[in-house]
Amino acid sequence: MKNRRSFIANIAMAVLLTLGLSVGSGQADQPNPGSNDSPQVTAPVETSVPTSTTTAAQTTPEDLYRQVWRNANENFLWRDRLTTFDQWEHKYKGKLSTQADAEKAINEMLDVLKDGYTYFRNNGQTQTKAAATAATNVVTYKMIGTVGYIKISTFGSENAASETEAAIRALNKAGAKAYIVDLRDNGGGYVAQAFSITGMFLDQGEFATVKGHRHGKPYTEVMTVTKTSLEDKENGKVTSNVTRVGNLTGNKPVFILVNGGSASASEMFAGSLRDNGRAKLIGQKTFGKGIAQLNMDLAFNTSMQVTYAQLYQPAGKSIHGVGMTPDEVVAPVAKVDAPLDRALALAAPKPTKAKGNP
């Protein structure tokens, strides 16, 4: 059990985003560092929604346990797995004297939901997530001939959008005539970051639809790139309308590199641009992580996340457990970056000589 938790904890960083409280507020990706049901694969990052923090001074270990139970009971996506969850509410009443007691009981309780993306984070795991959120230099770029190449390593940093904007502006200044966005092994991150970056490549169009359960009720959210803003509509009502960075790429060709490590927010970004006719995908089939998690701060500097919704791309498809097949499937070749070479060939085709010319 401990080895499995250690393995999964190192797979991918947890990423916070507010999918529902503000534009793109949910988080799209990481498996539970403590679940028996977490897949033994390189996994994507989480999609979660932050909530208010309760201070330790106000909370006993038993209160912490009950708070986690309540959050899961009110928001968990798969309601059929909650049929016997009520029995856990008071299971440890009067038995939790320390924080360690509460954390052990919480992990046992959440394990019964059989969802590797719903889990509790202790102090250290919560601090690690916070550090990942503040990471810099997550975007690199360069000119390859006349093509602007951008590598986004994660959407899990709050700096991903600003760094991508700076990259595009620099490439435009250098004369880029097309763009290649490399999302290979990008396990996802903040949906808010992916949503914002989508607007840099798109005049207008839908980003994603979210359907699930929140605060004990069915929940639907639609995120759309309008001409002037990033619009977030919850249960039919506009709840956020943030001014956006405009389309920085015009109508220049866009090619997105993906592989089995491209997941969650990466799949949302790539799927939105493809469904809106703005980009072609090249590489290998993506991971297939199409669910979102609420990320909640708790007492004692701990936190949790709970899967609360399924994500749908603009064309109406859910890629969860399925993934996306690229427009052109290109397998990796030893010592050669075949997917990148193919994207470059499409982005900057070499002129052909007319017949009869020397």
Residue 217 one-letter amino acid: K
φ, ψ at 232 (rounded to 5°): -120, 120
| Known catalytic membership, residue 227 | no
> Smallest Cα–Cα separation from 309: which of 270, 266, 264, 269?
264
Q: What are the strands of the beta sheet with 280-283, ordered from one edge?
A: 139-144, 147-152, 178-182, 254-258, 280-283, 328-329
How many CA atoms does the CB half-sphere of 114 hold within 13 Å?
6
Spatial distance between the Cα atoms of 330 and 340, rounded to a whole number of angstroms: 9
As a whole number of Å, the CA-based R_g of the chain is 21
Spatial distance between the Cα atoms of 12 and 8, rounded to a whole number of angstroms: 8
| Known catalytic membership, residue 22 | no
Given 129, 151, 280, 289, the catalytic residue: 289
Spatial distance between the Cα atoms of 59 and 55, rounded to a whole number of angstroms: 7
Place of tokens 């993906």: 258
What are 283's two structure tokens?
Answer: 């590489």
Contact 344, 251 (CB under 8 A): no
Given 264, 266, 272, 303, the catalytic residue: 264
| Known catalytic membership, residue 275 | yes
User: What one-character DSSP code corresponds to residue 158?
Assistant: T
Q: Which residues contact 25 (CB under 8 A, 6 or more apart)?
A: 17, 18, 19, 49, 50, 191, 192, 232
> Smallest Cα–Cα separation from 268: which of 197, 180, 194, 204?
194
Tell me the residue length of the chain.
358
Contact 34, 252 (CB under 8 A): no
Given 232, 275, 280, 303, the catalytic residue: 275
Name the residues annotated as catalytic. Answer: 264, 275, 289
